């Protein structure tokens, strides 16, 4: 009995010990180690010895003292490398010690199976190609590049190019390019021509070889793009300038591959190379003024190594980064600023076009092909589903090594579809290889931004399959009709020219396409507001007598025209006394004072007001030559009275009319006219009085409206919802000092109803914003203020007049999260609707003027 008990006890102890070991293993699986697993990390022979020494903390490059002697980071490596790179370990040590936050910014590269499983389990949002394009457009619209600390001739060149670019007309009649593979062939062609005509690049001479200025060391293999670009950029006579003041772009000529190989050949710690580049930026920003002038926004780099996003993310993130590893969810790749660099596997540097092309579709006997190392988590999944599972598909591990990879190349030349499955990172040379060998690429790499994404229509010649759909791979490919496949194959041949390296660059080749992507990014990030600030000149006519001209009312519901007139006439930045240098001509009249001065009470006739404005315009036309030069299209006015559209409809119809009554059914012309905000200003001395409101949690009323029963819509609104207990829908409230009862309701309501009266506009729209209440606009055909630049549907609700019976249901259908999001956007956007006695950047005065400028330059052109 005792022996049996001891035997059982021994088994229990063994089971207990096994359970502990198993638990420890499970716990360790949740951690990442520098070399993949705990054993390798503890005993790796490839660890770098750290030597200690003095090192001053990393400083901000903008405050760098140019008199301080900077030393490049150095590490003890090899006696054959330049002295610059020796004994730099301490810089890395101090950097990683003191900058713990960098662990989140620069995740360690870990190629172990444990990490692959760990990454696979992480839930990452998958962004489709169409969603990427939406993000690209949104980022470009919302980005605010740093305004240069001082202007240069190059800035003016960019402004001029931007204006020419924005006025490009759509034209597909271009026989040197193939429209079918471009998003918009005319835009590409125009921006490319402007690049050829305008662009000048300055290349920094700083930096020692091999990390800098040694492209010949990176002319072969999968990272060759960075080497070929550097070589051809440095040898370019058309684009290079030795005068940095003429430069539109500044090139940092380093190799990400050689950086890693030179400093840390055996390391998997991506943080290790960051201080070296940080020191380089400190050096050039201390020695020259160019980086600090724009905060690096006109600088660029070209880097293809997997580490490039991490090594440049922190101190070079303001640059335009042309990188191969373009994962928008993980690598920090920023659509609209960064550029997707093609990863090209160059086998023959002396002849990069050797073996170009492939068999015609009828002779491609293999349905789909993949071969490669099992990097990352995805490729093993691909093989598990398709290796040796289908005779028509060749899904293989790495092929046996033969000279020039002939077996691999033959497979590509004979396959209809070439599978481009991600490895450890989203990018793969197979994408360009497929195009090189005229095989339709099938890209399986979630969140990969393909090269030249901003101009090429990738879905016209490539197939994108989400990683989760690998089990349906063949079904998806078989669903492509034969005619569609032949069309895609033909487009692959058409787009191929843009992915080819030539020993001597040719027009539209890969060198020029990379450079164009960088130029294009820089060009489109030049904002219309910045152009206005640096360029716009307005001539104000001095003709006309007060009170109709040159006078203003700064309180009440028509105050916008008064505030704009007053601030415009007092402005020194935009106003010019020389009409020959003016871009715009302002007619400074007040529609409210016109009505108060000339309207015959109870006559119900505006004819004399219309005739007065016609006579005044005829006088200007006769007295000055400016109107006739453009037939008035470079003239503008700002008028807020309900009658302003009628008063300006005859002789002034060609002008840019900033109108509060922005009704497209009564002559408001979208694209020419400007919607002027109706602002009810209570105090001329303090126009921002009482701005603000309760937070969402303290807003007890679902929706609020109170006002005169003007027009047809408001009585209907009151009839349907006047008795609802959740909503306060009221006729005009009793008058109290400062309308405090009305304001209190707005400050404590979630939604504020902006229902039209006699005209489409209402001061309630801007009042809602002032008091942090989400506006609900019920006014058919009303064009909201600043419509050309603001996304109104992101912070306001639009309800058709016919849907008033469904008002409450519509509002209740908005989730709490969505409401809070809209509320926060209201808080942010309201600053664009503020009047200031002394105008500030992006306030209402500047936004109205920008809308007029935008209409003139971008809608009609000079």
Share of the chain above pLDDT 70, in %: 83
Q: Is the pLDDT of residue 30 over 50?
A: no
The pLDDT value recorded for residue 138 is 74
Name the band, by pLDDT with cuts 50, 70 and 90, for residue 164.
confident
Q: 278: helix, coil or strand? A: helix
> CA 700, CA 693: separation in Å to the nearest integer?
12
Q: 754: helix, coil or strand? A: strand
Q: Is the pLDDT of residue 436 over 50?
A: yes
The pLDDT value recorded for residue 12 is 58
Structure confidence by residue, pLDDT tens digits, 261-288: 999 888 888 888 899 999 999 999 999 9
Other Cβ atoms less than 10 A from the Cβ of 391: the count is: 8
The pLDDT value recorded for residue 3 is 52
Name the band, by pLDDT with cuts 50, 70 and 90, for residue 89.
very low
> CA 184, CA 514: separation in Å to the nearest integer?
17
Q: Is the pLDDT of residue 652 over 90?
A: yes
Strands (E) across 259-335 are located at 299-303, 320-323
- Higher pLDDT residue, 18 or 225? 225
Largest CA distance in the chain: 124
Instruction: Give the mean model confidence (pLDDT) for residues 687-714.
Output: 96
Structure confidence by residue, pLDDT tens digits, 440-497: 999 999 999 999 999 999 999 999 999 999 999 999 999 999 999 999 999 999 999 9
The pLDDT value recorded for residue 735 is 87
Tokens of 701: 């009323």
The pLDDT value recorded for residue 339 is 96
Domains detected in the chain:
2-67+80-121 (no CATH), 153-161+179-345+519-524 (no CATH), 361-499 (3.40.50.2000), 531-675 (no CATH), 696-833 (3.40.50.2000)
CB 632 within 8 A of CB 586: no
Structure confidence by residue, pLDDT tens digits, 175-217: 779 999 999 998 899 999 999 999 999 999 999 999 999 999 9
pTM value > 0.85: no
Instruction: Give the mean model confidence (pLDDT) for residues 329-353.
Output: 93
DSSP output for 627-682: HHHHTTTTEEEEE-STTHHHHTSSTTTTSEEEESS-BGGGT--BTTBEE-----BS
Name the band, by pLDDT with cuts 50, 70 and 90, for residue 44.
very low
Structure confidence by residue, pLDDT tens digits, 97-119: 333 323 232 222 232 222 333 33
> CA 91, CA 276: separation in Å to the nearest integer?
8
Name the band, by pLDDT with cuts 50, 70 and 90, for residue 50.
very low
Tell me how many degrees the CA angle 155-156-162 measures, rounded to the nearest 5. 90
The pLDDT value recorded for residue 173 is 59
Average pLDDT, the chain: 85
Cross-strand bridge partners of residue 831: none
Instruction: Output DSSP code: residue 448.
Output: B
Name the band, by pLDDT with cuts 50, 70 and 90, for residue 81.
very low
> CA 374, CA 380: separation in Å to the nearest integer?
6
Instruction: Give the mean model confidence (pLDDT) for residues 642-651.
Output: 93
Pairing of strands 656-659, 727-730: unpaired
Instruction: Give the mean model confidence (pLDDT) for residues 800-826.
Output: 97
Q: Is the pLDDT of residue 135 over 60?
A: yes
The pLDDT value recorded for residue 310 is 92
C-alpha closest to that of 347 among 302, 412, 300, 301 = 412
Structure confidence by residue, pLDDT tens digits, 774-786: 999 999 999 999 9
Share of the chain above pLDDT 90, in %: 72
Cross-strand bridge partners of residue 130: none
Instruction: Output DSSP code: residue 577.
Output: S
Other Cβ atoms less than 10 A from the Cβ of 125: the count is: 9
The pLDDT value recorded for residue 482 is 97
The pLDDT value recorded for residue 506 is 97
Structure confidence by residue, pLDDT tens digits, 440-450: 999 999 999 99
CB 331 within 8 A of CB 310: yes
């Amino acid at each position: 009995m005792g022996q049996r008990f001891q035997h059982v006890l021994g088994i229990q102890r063994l089971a207990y010990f096994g359970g502990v070991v198993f638990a420890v293993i499970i716990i360790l699986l949740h951690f990442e180690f520098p070399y993949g697993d705990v054993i390798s990390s503890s005993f790796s022979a490839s660890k770098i010895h750290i030597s200690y020494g003095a090192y001053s903390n990393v400083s901000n490059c903008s405050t760098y003292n140019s008199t301080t002697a900077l030393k490049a980071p150095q590490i003890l490596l090899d006696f054959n490398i330049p002295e610059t790179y020796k004994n730099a370990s301490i810089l890395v040590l101090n950097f990683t010690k003191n900058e713990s936050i960098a662990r989140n910014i620069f995740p360690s590269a870990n190629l172990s199976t444990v990490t692959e499983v760990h990454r696979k389990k992480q839930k990452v949002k998958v962004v489709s190609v169409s969603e990427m394009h939406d993000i690209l457009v949104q980022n470009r619209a919302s980005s605010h590049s740093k305004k240069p600390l001082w202007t240069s001739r190059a800035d003016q060149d960019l402004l001029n190019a931007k204006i020419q670019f924005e006025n490009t007309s759509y034209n597909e009649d271009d026989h040197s390019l193939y429209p079918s593979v471009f998003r918009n062939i005319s835009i590409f062609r125009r921006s490319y021509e402007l690049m050829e005509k305008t662009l000048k690049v300055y290349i920094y001479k700083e930096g020692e070889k091999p990390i800098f200025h040694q492209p010949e060391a990176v002319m072969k293999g999968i990272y060759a793009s960075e080497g070929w670009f550097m070589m051809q950029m440095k040898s370019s006579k058309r684009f290079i300038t030795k005068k940095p003041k003429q430069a539109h772009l500044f090139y940092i000529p380093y190799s990400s591959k050689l950086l890693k190989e030179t400093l840390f050949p055996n390391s998997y710690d991506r943080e290790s190379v960051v201080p070296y580049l940080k020191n380089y930026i400190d050096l050039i920003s201390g020695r020259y003024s160019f980086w600090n002038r724009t905060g690096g926004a006109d600088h660029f780099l070209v880097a293809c190594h997997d580490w490039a996003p991490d090594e440049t993310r922190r101190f070079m993130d303001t640059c335009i980064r042309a990188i191969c590893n373009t994962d928008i969810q993980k690598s920090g790749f920023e659509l609209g600023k960064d550029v997707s660099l093609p990863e090209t596997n160059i086998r023959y540097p002396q002849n990069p076009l050797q073996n170009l092309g492939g068999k015609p579709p009828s002779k491609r006997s293999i349905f789909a092909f993949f071969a490669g190392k099992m990097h990352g988590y995805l490729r093993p999944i691909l093989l598990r589903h398709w290796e040796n599972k289908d005779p028509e598909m060749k899904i293989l591990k790495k092929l046996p090594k033969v000279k020039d990879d002939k077996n691999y190349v033959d497979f590509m030349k004979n396959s209809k579809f070439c599978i481009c499955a991600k490895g450890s990172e989203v990018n793969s040379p197979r994408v360009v290889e497929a195009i090189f060998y005229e095989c339709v690429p099938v890209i399986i790499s979630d969140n990969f931004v393909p090269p030249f994404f901003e101009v090429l229509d990738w879905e016209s010649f490539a197939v994108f399959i989400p990683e989760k759909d690998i089990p349906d791979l063949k079904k998806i490919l078989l669903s492509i009709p034969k005619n569609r496949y032949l069309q895609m194959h033909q487009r692959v041949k058409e787009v191929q020219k843009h992915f080819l390296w030539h020993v001597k660059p040719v027009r539209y080749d890969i060198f020029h396409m990379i450079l164009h992507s960088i130029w294009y990014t820089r060009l489109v990030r030049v904002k219309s507001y910045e152009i206005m600030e640096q360029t716009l000149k307005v001539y104000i006519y001095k003709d006309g007598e007060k009170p109709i001209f040159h006078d203003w009312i700064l309180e009440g519901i028509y105050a916008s025209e008064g505030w704009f007139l007053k601030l415009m006439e007092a402005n020194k930045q935009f106003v010019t006394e020389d009409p020959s240098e003016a871009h715009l001509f302002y007619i400074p009249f007040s529609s409210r004072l016109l009505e108060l001065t000339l309207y015959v009470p109870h006559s119900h006739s505006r004819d004399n007001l219309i005739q007065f404005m016609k006579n005044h315009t005829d006088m200007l036309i006769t007295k000055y030559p400016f109107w006739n030069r453009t037939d008035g299209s470079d003239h503008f006015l700002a008028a807020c009275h309900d009658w302003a559209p009628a008063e300006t409809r005859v002789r002034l119809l060609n002008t840019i009319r900033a109108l509060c009554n922005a009704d497209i059914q009564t002559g408001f012309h979208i694209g020419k006219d400007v919607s002027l905000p109706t602002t009810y200003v209570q105090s001329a001395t303090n126009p921002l009085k009482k701005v603000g409101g309760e937070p969402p949690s303290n807003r007890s009323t679902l929706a609020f409206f109170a006002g005169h029963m003007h027009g047809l819509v408001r009585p209907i609104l009151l009839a349907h919802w006047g008795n609802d207990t959740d909503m306060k829908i009221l006729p005009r409230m009793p008058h109290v000092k400062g309308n405090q009862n009305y304001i209190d309701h707005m400050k404590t309501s979630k939604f504020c109803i902006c229902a039209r009266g006699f005209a489409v506009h209402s001061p309630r729209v801007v009042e809602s914003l002032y008091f942090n209440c989400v506006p609900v606009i019920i006014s058919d055909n009303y064009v909201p203020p600043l419509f050309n630049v603001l996304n109104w549907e992101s912070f306001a609700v639009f309800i058709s007049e016919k849907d008033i019976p469904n008002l409450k249901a519509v509002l209740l259908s908005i989730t709490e999260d969505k409401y809070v999001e809209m509320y926060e956007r209201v808080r942010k956007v309201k600053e664009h609707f503020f009047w200031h006695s002394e105008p500030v950047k992006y306030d209402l005065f500047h936004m109205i003027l920008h809308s007029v400028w935008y209409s003139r330059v971008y809608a009609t052109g000079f």
